[in-house]
Structure 1
Amino acid sequence: MNAKKLLLMQLDACHTENTWFVSLINSIHDLTGEQAKWKPSEATNSISEIVHHLIYYNQRHLNRLKGIENEESTGESTFLNREGLSWSETSERIDQLMADWKKAVEEADEATLNKWADSIAHLTIHTTYHAGQILYIRKLQGSWDPKAGVKG
Structure 2
Amino acid sequence: MSKFELLVREMEHAYDQRDWYAPLKPALEGLSAQQASWRPEGEGVNTIWETANHLLYYKRQLLHYLKDEEMSDCVQTNNETFRVDFPHDEEAWQRTVSKLEDVQQELLSIVGTKHDEDFDTLLPDGEPMGNYISSLIRHDSFHTGQIIQLRKLQGSWPSKR
For the aligned pair, the TM-score class normalised by the smaller chain equals 0.7 to 0.9
Matched letter for residue 80 of structure 1: R
The CA deviation at 1:74 is 3.4
Report the 3-state secondary structure (helix = DSSP H, G, I; strand = E; otherwise coil) of the residue aligned with 1:126. Answer: helix
The CA deviation at 1:8 is 0.8
Q: Aligned pairs, how many?
A: 148
Report the 3-state secondary structure (helix = DSSP H, G, I; strand = E; otherwise coil) of the residue aligned with 1:77. Answer: helix
The CA deviation at 1:65 is 1.4
Q: TM-score, normalised by structure 2?
A: 0.83
Contact 1:105 1:113 in 2 (8 A): no
Report the 3-state secondary structure (helix = DSSP H, G, I; strand = E; otherwise coil) of the residue aligned with 2:80. Answer: coil
Q: Which has the higher helix share?
A: 1
Q: TM-score, normalised by structure 1?
A: 0.88
CA-atom RMSD, angstroms?
2.1
Higher relative contact order, chain-length normalized (CA < 8 Å, sep 6+):
1
Gaps of 5+ in 2: 122-128
- Superimposed CA distance per residue, residues 74-113 of structure 1 (whole angstroms, 9 cap, x where no aligned partner): 3361101379971111111111111111011112243334
Partner of 1:57: 58
Structure 1 runs (4+) deviating above 3 angstroms are 81-85
Gaps of 5+ in 1: none
- Superimposed CA distance per residue, residues 3-52 of structure 1 (whole angstroms, 9 cap, x where no aligned partner): 02110111101111010100000111111110000011451100000000
Contact 2:53 2:84 in 1 (8 A): yes
Identity %: 28
